[in-house]
Amino acid sequence: MPETILLVEDKDALREMVAAALRKAGHTVEEAPDGHAAIQKIRARRFPVIVTDLKLPGPSGLEILRAAKALDESVAVIVMTAYGSVDDAVTAMKEGALDFIQKPFELPHLLLLVERAVKEQEWRRENLLWREEAGARYGFPSIIGEDDSLREVEQAIRRVAPTGATVLLEGESGTGKELFAHVIHDLSPRRELPFVTINCAAIPEHLVENELFGHEKGAFTGAGSRKIGRAELANRGSLFLDEIGELPLPAQAKLLRLIEEKTFERVGGTQLISVDVRLIAATNRKLQDAVEKKLFRDDLYFRLAAFPIQIPPLRERGRDVLALAEHFLRKFASEFSKPALELSPACQQLLLSYSWPGNVRELSNAIERAVILADSSTIGAEDLVLGFLPSKERESPPAGFDLEGSLFEVTERAVNAVERAKISRALEESRGNRTVAAEKLNISPKTLLAKMRAHGLDSREP
């Protein structure tokens, strides 16, 4: 059954005309003649798409937008605005509206905007199902989060997974590159065939070729029988090479041949072995630097980088850290037979303010320790052991910092002070240009504007 679109318009003739056009296009529509009726309907049920006029009796379209976003951040809102009210529409866009259309408008234009909004909602639902399926299948953390950087990764994976192309996953240690490799395999036609992993950094240099390609009997002292290598075990499936930047140069030459010709020779052998493998590689190093230093073959790099995907570090994923922390909290509480646990407000503030140099792996370890040591139903900031905080920073605060109040109040005050100072510096360096400042801070202009208002910096607005 299709989900319902809420149409809010006080002019009866226009509302009826637009509703009829939407229904003719195959959509289910519920109507509201004013702001009060619209907000009542929004509180009673979820509408994935809302089309609303800005000027209404009672609450305005902007208030409807805020009410809808407060209940469900993912709702898609399209605003209709009269001629000369573009400033109001821009304000609505800054506060999270998907798009706006100026009256009088052509119905096909509005239908196109609605179709786009519906497709975006369907895409969101598919991603949620995909994450749940990935978590259930692999038994380790699913792809959790809603940050735009993560959505870009998911979209890239969906495009490349069915093709069979070689993929290079780039990102810092602990960002979950192996999980993304698993998902690429599972979304490909090879999903029922082997997924074979080799960690190039964990194998001694003189044994890498042997592990990757196998050996013939008598190839070296102790080789009493033939050994099948990982490349051959992955035939018709996927071969995941983790930390490929650590692969020795001799093995790189053989790997290039495997990619280009789908053939290799076992160590000590002369027979060509043909295989059909889909290669997925991962690295936490900048391979371009290794190429310049002659530590990595340029021809292999260009073959691997046919489809690069950059996995974002946790510190650039905004509030995803809280969603991941809650996931790990449930996971480890279940594993250790603990009662239901929750994160205190001070703990949440600390999680958001910490830089997470160890990424998702560090977060998982921190929550695991906290769950093991928990002696109450609440995890506090004092229960988190964050290994990369400088010892001096742990011992004493900056000179003049006010330590009065509860732990939560002090933590919140510190986070707000640092955030305000960081935003102020970015605005100064960008000479008040919010777009440039947002890029410096790695956040969206909409998020920057909200934070400026929260810190009393919106007087900087042009």
Neighbour-count burial for 207-239, b at 16+ CB within 10 Å, e otherwise: ebbbbbbbbbeebeeeeeeebebbbbebbebbb
Report the mean per-residue pLDDT for the chain. 84
Give the residue among 23, 9, 170 at the shortest CA–CA distance from 103. Answer: 9
Residue 151 has pLDDT above 90, yes or no: no
Tracing tokens 């489809």 back to the chain, one arrives at 307
pLDDT band at 13 (very low <50, low <70, confident <90, very high): very high
Residue 170 has pLDDT above 90, yes or no: yes
- Assess whether 158 and 303 both reside in one domain: yes
The structure tokens listed for 443 are: 């956040």
Domain range for 162: 148-310
What percent of the chain lies above the pLDDT cut of 90?
Answer: 37
Angle CA(115)–CA(76)–CA(43) in degrees, nearest 5?
125
CATH of the domain at 282: 3.40.50.300
- Assess whether 296 and 325 both reside in one domain: no
- Assess whether 427 and 326 both reside in one domain: yes
Residue 177 has pLDDT above 70, yes or no: yes
92 located within any domain:
yes
The mean pLDDT value for 242-257 works out to: 92
Specify the higher pLDDT residue, 399 or 435: 435
Q: Which of 148-152, 279-283, 404-408 has the lowest mean pLDDT?
A: 404-408
The structure tokens listed for 1 are: 């059954």
Specify the higher pLDDT residue, 322 or 456: 322
Instruction: Answer for the pair 449, 459: CB distance below 8 angstroms, yes or no.
Output: no
Total domain count for the chain?
3
Specify the higher pLDDT residue, 49 or 442: 49
The mean pLDDT value for 204-215 works out to: 89
Q: What DSSP string describes 269-283?
A: --S-EE---EEEEEE
- d(CA 348, CA 368) in angstroms, rounded, equals 16
pLDDT of residue 75: 86
132 located within any domain:
no
Q: Which of 183-187, 368-372, 385-389, 439-443 has the lowest mean pLDDT?
A: 385-389
The structure tokens listed for 155 are: 């979209």
pLDDT band at 142 (very low <50, low <70, confident <90, very high): low
pLDDT of residue 73: 74
Specify the higher pLDDT residue, 173 or 410: 173
98 located within any domain:
yes
